[in-house]
Amino acid sequence: MKALLVSLLIVVGLLVVADRVGVRVAEGRVAEQLADRGGLAGTPEVDITGFPFLTQAVAGRYEDVRISLTAEQLGQPAGTRADVSLRGVQVPLSDALSGSVQEIPVEQVDGTATLSYDLLAQQLGGDTMLEQDGDGLRITRTLEVLGVEFPVTATGSLALDGQDVVVDVGTAAAAGVDVPGVVVDRAADLLDFSYAVPALPFGLQLTSVEPAADGVDVRVEATDTVLQG
């Protein structure tokens, strides 16, 4: 009985090792296929979740494939990144082994694209600095209005308008300088801006936006998409 138990433990251990080795190999292959079929400019970091992996491979359906994408892989400006989950990824085992994958149906894609504050600050130029301020943004910049140059601190709200991230400044103040209110109001108007998010891979659409510590997080999702080369 003891010998049988030891044998079973060895078999289970070998299966676990085979499963983990298999998932590492598959992650590399899936990353290559996603880069090709998803129109990416580089091979992303891939994590196939769920255990056991081998049953998913045999079924040709992966429950949750998580990928991390850099700006270069996305074909986006520096300061952009994305972390997304592809749920219900369908790749027949025979196609995966033969390398003959023509398309990859995916039931659901969701995640977050992050736009750095440095990237967004470029929309206003100059010495603009952006940072999180609760549910909105704090904007600091030196402006010249009606011949008067002064530093401005303003707060703005975030919203989505289609594929654009919109910042609408509500209040502004001249920092340490006494200037007429009408000049400050004009400065606030000059700090409104929008950023057109270029098309993202996998048919992703923007659904919501909120500030975070190191940038603006834009939630993205797609349903019943098919990745084709």
Instruction: Give the span between the Cα atoms of 221 and 216, in whole angstroms.
Output: 16
- Could you tell me if residue 162 is inside a domain? yes
Contact 48, 65 (CB under 8 A): yes
Q: Are residues 102 and 147 in the same domain?
A: no
- pTM of the complete model: 0.78
Half-sphere exposure at residue 126, Cβ-oriented, CA atoms within 13 angstroms: 16
Q: Are residues 10 and 45 in the same domain?
A: yes
Structural domain containing residue 43: 2-112+222-228
pLDDT at 12 (0 to 100): 35
Q: Are residues 82 and 130 in the same domain?
A: no
Q: Which helix (H) or strand (E) holds 181?
A: helix 181-190
For the stretch 117-126, contacts whose Cβ atoms lie closer than 8 Å and that sit 24 or more positions apart, written own/partner, are 117/214, 117/215, 117/216, 118/79, 119/77, 119/78, 119/79, 119/80, 119/195, 119/215, 120/165, 120/167, 120/193, 120/195, 120/215, 120/216, 123/193, 123/194, 123/195, 124/191, 124/193
Q: Give CA separation, 78 vs 13, 35, 45, 51, 151, in Å.
A: 44, 19, 18, 35, 27
By residue count, the chain amounts to 229
Q: Are residues 93 and 166 in the same domain?
A: no
Q: Are residues 6 and 108 in the same domain?
A: yes
pLDDT at 2 (0 to 100): 37
Contacts of 84 (CB under 8 A, 6+ apart): 66, 67, 69, 109, 110, 111, 112, 202, 204, 220
Report, as ranges of residue numbers, the positions in the chain whose pLDDT lies below 50.
1-22
- The pLDDT tens digits for 124-183 are 998 999 999 999 999 999 887 777 787 888 899 999 999 999 999 988 887 666 555 676
Q: Are residues 91 and 122 in the same domain?
A: no
- Could you tell me if residue 213 is inside a domain? no
* Total tally of structural domains belonging to the chain: 2
